[in-house]
Structure 1
Amino acid sequence: MSYLVQSWTEQKRNQVPFPDRVEPLERTIQFMKENPSAVMNILTEISLHRSASYELSAAISTLEGALHEVSTHRPPQLNQMAVFMPSNVILYSYVLYLLVPSLFVQEIHFRPSSQIKDQLIRLHQLLKDVHGLPIEIQPISQRKFLKQYVAQANLIVFTGAYKNAEEIKLQLNKEQIYLFFGQGVNPFIVAPGADLQSAVSGAIDIRLLNSGQDCLGPDAFFIHESHLPMFTEMLTRQLDSLKFGDNTDAEADWGPIYYDSTLEMASQYLHRHHSDIIRGGSVNFRSRIVEPTVLLRDFEENFEIVEFFSPVFNVVRYRDEGKLIDLLRSGFFMERALGASVYGKADKVVEILKKRHTVTINTTLLSIDDGNSPFGGYGPMANYISYNEKLSFKPILVSQAVGECLRAER
């Protein structure tokens, strides 16, 4: 029985550089569907059960669409690829940056983030025994990885901080394709006319994804003053009703924090802004718990926006749509333009955001998460493609980016 979608036809197989690798990917899909606990046992060391389950489903769906994706964008065969893996969503990243590209890259080497090295090593061993593809993990220093693998690679993928990405880019030559995946502010806006129940539920879903430890989480929630009292009341009430549990608890809505740096940053941030806290605010280092916290600020205040992986809702009251637009046009937001969500009637805001962001209307960014489609924004600190001494700022899909870069030079 085939676990691949019907579009995995013989014709499409012949349109990818390595058609013999379709069957190993099919085996991997079958293994993950039939042995979910083997994968989940590793993922829940890092992620909440609910988030890990979502990640597993997304990984399977992306693999099922891999042949159609690669045959559509037609990237040419590459000899070698080097990947700096992110510190979260390790299975989804394994599929996006390693398994799907294996259809057009001869040999792939990847370096795990030090924060999740042990888990990624075990995940790779588990899946490597199934697919047997020339994908190799290199748990070595960044300097050695750069010298031994990045220097020879045709394609490099880096996920992480913009500053680190820029340092690596300086060491590459112009013939190398370099894909950078960073972070964004991901503003969440509740405008006049919004369905507040939908907005509150969406805010909780996206901000508490993996207990806040996900890059899609909004760093600021801009709520129109007409909705603010009811929004904050509904938000705090729903947060009060949520269940805490450890990562193996399938019913838990939020759980402990995995990353040490997150605990430290959250505690420092909440200490600095303790006077703005209207719900929560406690941090327990022993139990690794950051309580879901709501801070309330006024737009006219000089409020601080910081990205950290925590269940923290930075709620900002706004009155004037024009002033909100000016803020969204500012350098800070434009540089980090990735995603945005708007609930209610705010046509001018949406128009401005769509120039640089991937925007969802009356729903969250999770609703458009598709591993076989480009994702991201147009801000240089959010993501970019570097090739042949040119930078391109736009949503990225690896197979599409490679195909476009190499077709452009012909």
Structure 2
Amino acid sequence: MLRRQDELIGALTDIATHDSASDELHRSIQALAGARWELARNRPETLDLLGVFLPSNNILYSYTLMCLIPALYCRRIEIRPSSRVKGVIETVHEILAPVVRERGRGQLALTRASQRDFVRSCGEADGVIFTGRYENGLEIASRVSSRTRLLLFGSGPNPFVVGPEASADAAVHDLLRSRLYNSGQDCLCPDAMFVHRDRLSEVVTHLGERLAEIPIADRRDPEARVTPLVYDDAVQGAAAFLDRHRDLVRFGGTVDVAARTVAPSIVVADLHPGLRPPEFFSPVFLVCAYDDAAQITQWATAPEELARGMYMSVYGEPELQSPVIGTSIVCRDCTTFDIEDGNRPFGGYGAHASSVHEHGRLAARPLLVSAEFGTGRPGRALATAGTTAARESA
């Protein structure tokens, strides 16, 4: 990776900002450096076949965690790239797969098969890794063997809480880092910000001042933070959301669908139990005012949020002391990106965010591939799908 980093970053910046591509590279190297200790800790079984659905973002890092490290204990890994970014994945594979082969590790095979044919070829695999919509993952789980262990990596809203005792400077700095990672195109980006009403004006003003300094730039510029988006549906979704809530827009709010640009935008509303933040995949800041931390707990324990609980960043809110709120793991005074570790389990306790499916049952929990196939595998009994299972796991 280090020797060919220019080629890798050149490929990644077709769909990612230079900054996030560089971050992916360094996170991938760090994960490879820790792989020896990860495998010693989890002692994964030798697998004959692992099927992998690669996502359409974080390509190098996903390839590292789902293909390169598993190649140390899998005889064959069949990889289906997302059709949206097939060319980028093919380039990454062409650079890295031969190194794995030369060192006598597992065989990495990139397929161009349709999803239906790929599922059929992996129907008797030891395991399948799926990244994407939960409903699609369930459909795949119904088509593979009951003995096949399906690991489903999804997403969640990852709310960012700014409490009454938070430093506005520190909170806004970290909020910008996390919301604007790859111009907002990452499942770890926070899709909602819950700000105590006493701090709302200060935080929104400070956030707007900082956003006003950020231009829309070319994604290959190492200094770029906001760039044209990659996916048409993300642009269209942001445009529809901003149009629908035009009276709540405090900053930005402009979208150029043809140029795929979404201006950094702040939408301010009140937090209410029925709020269901979409996955924006764009630089939209949905700021929700709250008066009491109990409102956050009430929101997080609604059935819909229990199902997709992943992470929650909490700054300066003394009433939120639990390590898990609803089914979301708390990141105390730090972002989701700060705690992400490629050699440790990823995700929360919401079934839509991260779950294991096997024998028609599921367990919702943070996932690490080697741990799920390890002799020291998490000992929780697989539970029937539903929010009750998620709450019990939490």
Q: TM-score scaled by structure 2?
A: 0.92
**2:223 paired with 1:251:** yes
Kept in 2, the 8 Å contact 1:297–1:303? The answer is no
What is the rounded CA distance, in whole Å, between the counterparts of 1:299 and 1:101 in structure 2?
42
What is the rounded CA distance, in whole Å, between the counterparts of 2:189 and 2:254 in structure 1?
20
Letter in 2 for 1:218: P
Compute the displacement of 1:301 (Å). Answer: 9.1
Which residue number corresponds to residue 341 of structure 2?
Answer: 370
Letter in 2 for 1:357: S
Letter in 2 for 1:177: R
SS of structure 2 residue aligned to 1:351: coil
What is the rounded CA distance, in whole Å, between the counterparts of 1:389 and 1:237 in structure 2?
51
Q: 1:297 to 1:352 in 2, by over 3 A?
A: farther
Letter in 1 for 2:160: F
Alignment RMSD (CA, Å)? 1.8
What is the rounded CA distance, in whole Å, between the counterparts of 1:297 and 1:356 in structure 2?
24
Compute the displacement of 1:129 (Å). Answer: 3.1
Which residue number corresponds to residue 187 of structure 2?
Answer: 215
Q: 1:342 to 1:275 in 2, by over 3 A?
A: same
Which residue number corresponds to residue 8 of structure 1?
Answer: none
Which residue number corresponds to residue 143 of structure 1?
Answer: 116
> Deviation per CA, 1:49-98, whole angstroms, max 9, x where unpaired?
00111010001111111121112100111100001111100000100000
Q: 1:372 to 1:391 in 2, by over 3 A?
A: same
Compute the displacement of 1:304 (Å). Answer: 4.9
Runs of 4+ in 1 over 4 A off after TM superposition: 300-304, 404-409
Kept in 2, the 8 Å contact 1:198–1:362? The answer is no
Which residue number corresponds to residue 187 of structure 1?
Answer: 159
Which residue number corresponds to residue 112 of structure 1?
Answer: 81
**2:15 paired with 1:42:** no
Letter in 1 for 2:91: R
Kept in 2, the 8 Å contact 1:189–1:221? The answer is yes
Kept in 2, the 8 Å contact 1:342–1:350? The answer is no
**2:22 paired with 1:53:** yes
What is the rounded CA distance, in whole Å, between the counterparts of 2:376 and 2:85 in structure 1?
32
**1:157 pairs with one of 105, 110, 129:** 129
Kept in 2, the 8 Å contact 1:117–1:139? The answer is no
Aligned length in residues: 376
What is the rounded CA distance, in whole Å, between the counterparts of 1:323 and 1:251 in structure 2?
38
Compute the displacement of 1:239 (Å). Answer: 0.6
> Deviation per CA, 1:156-204, whole angstroms, max 9, x where unpaired?
1000001100101111222111100011111111111101111001111
Compute the displacement of 1:142 (Å). Answer: 0.4
Compute the displacement of 1:404 (Å). Answer: 5.0
Compute the displacement of 1:392 (Å). Answer: 1.4
Alignment of 1:193-208 (within 5 A): 193-208=165-180
Which residue number corresponds to residue 337 of structure 1?
Answer: 309
> Deviation per CA, 1:344-393, whole angstroms, max 9, x where unpaired?
0333x342744622211111111111100011100111110123444211
Percent of pairs with identical residues? 36
SS of structure 1 residue aligned to 2:277: coil
SS of structure 2 residue aligned to 1:215: coil
Which residue number corresponds to residue 210 of structure 2?
Answer: 238
What is the rounded CA distance, in whole Å, between the counterparts of 1:302 and 1:391 in structure 2?
26
What is the rounded CA distance, in whole Å, between the counterparts of 1:402 and 1:125 in structure 2?
27
Which residue number corresponds to residue 144 of structure 2?
Answer: 172
Letter in 1 for 2:117: K
More helix by share: 1
Which residue number corresponds to residue 6 of structure 1?
Answer: none
Kept in 1, the 8 Å contact 2:42–2:377? The answer is no
Mark the runs of 5 or more structure 2 residues left unpaired by the alignment. 382-394
What is the rounded CA distance, in whole Å, between the counterparts of 1:198 and 1:407 in structure 2?
36
Compute the displacement of 1:287 (Å). Answer: 2.0
What is the rounded CA distance, in whole Å, between the counterparts of 1:49 and 1:309 in structure 2?
17
Which residue number corresponds to residue 62 of structure 2?
Answer: 93
What is the rounded CA distance, in whole Å, between the counterparts of 1:396 and 1:371 in structure 2?
10
What is the rounded CA distance, in whole Å, between the counterparts of 2:3 and 2:237 in structure 1?
39
What is the rounded CA distance, in whole Å, between the counterparts of 2:91 and 2:292 in structure 1?
52
Letter in 1 for 2:142: L
SS of structure 1 residue aligned to 2:373: helix
Compute the displacement of 1:130 (Å). Answer: 2.9
Letter in 2 for 1:140: A
SS of structure 2 residue aligned to 1:61: helix
Q: 1:360 to 1:304 in 2, by over 3 A?
A: closer
Which residue number corresponds to residue 295 of structure 1?
Answer: 267
What is the rounded CA distance, in whole Å, between the counterparts of 2:326 and 2:295 in structure 1?
18
**Segment of structure 1 superposing worse, 287-296 or 323-332:** 323-332
SS of structure 2 residue aligned to 1:385: strand
**Segment of structure 1 superposing worse, 386-395 or 305-314:** 386-395
Mark the runs of 5 or more structure 1 residues left unpaired by the alignment. 1-31
What is the rounded CA distance, in whole Å, between the counterparts of 1:392 and 1:187 in structure 2?
23
